[in-house]
Structure 1
């Protein structure tokens, strides 16, 4: 479930940035021909797109920070509850990494 939520957040973020890029390209194409109110309206749309993208990025950042903190807390709780198992797991992983590193 966490992967699905992270994937959805990433897709939303990518869509926001794609819209931002499209709006910016449109602004560049029209700046030469627009004047006055039309230019101001287009700039306002670009500014809104930038704000939405920034808000989406901030929300994603907060979500990832919360998940990371939850993972750290869960890991610390497990290690404190099962110290010898944790040492055994760490030794096993280190041994496997050592085997893989020497095969090259």
Structure 2
């Protein structure tokens, strides 16, 4: 469930950034030929896209911080509840990393 939510947030963020890039490219292409009201309208659209992208980034940042903190708390609780299993798991992971490192 968390992976789907993170993937969905990532897709939304990427779509917002793509829109931002497209708007910026349009501004650069048309900046020489636009004057007055047209330029102001395009700048307003770009500002709106920037604000939307910033809001999405802040929402995603907050969500990731909350989930990260929850993961840290869960890991600490598990280690405190099962210290020997945690040591065994850490040793196994270290052994596997050592095997992979020596193969290269």
**Which consecutive residues of structure 1, in runs of 5 or more, have no partner in the other structure?**
none
Number of residue-to-residue matches in the alignment: 104
- Residues 1-104 of structure 1 correspond to what in structure 2 (within 5 A)? 1-104=1-104
With 10-19 and 88-97 compared, the bigger mean Cα shift is at 88-97
**Which consecutive residues of structure 2, in runs of 5 or more, have no partner in the other structure?**
none
Query: Shift of the alpha carbon at 1:101?
Result: 2.0
**Per-residue deviation, residues 1-29 of structure 1 (Å, max 9, x unmatched):** 11111111111001000000111111112
TM, length-normalised to structure 1: 0.93
Distance 1:103 1:42 in 2: 56
Q: CA RMSD in A?
A: 1.1
TM, length-normalised to structure 2: 0.93
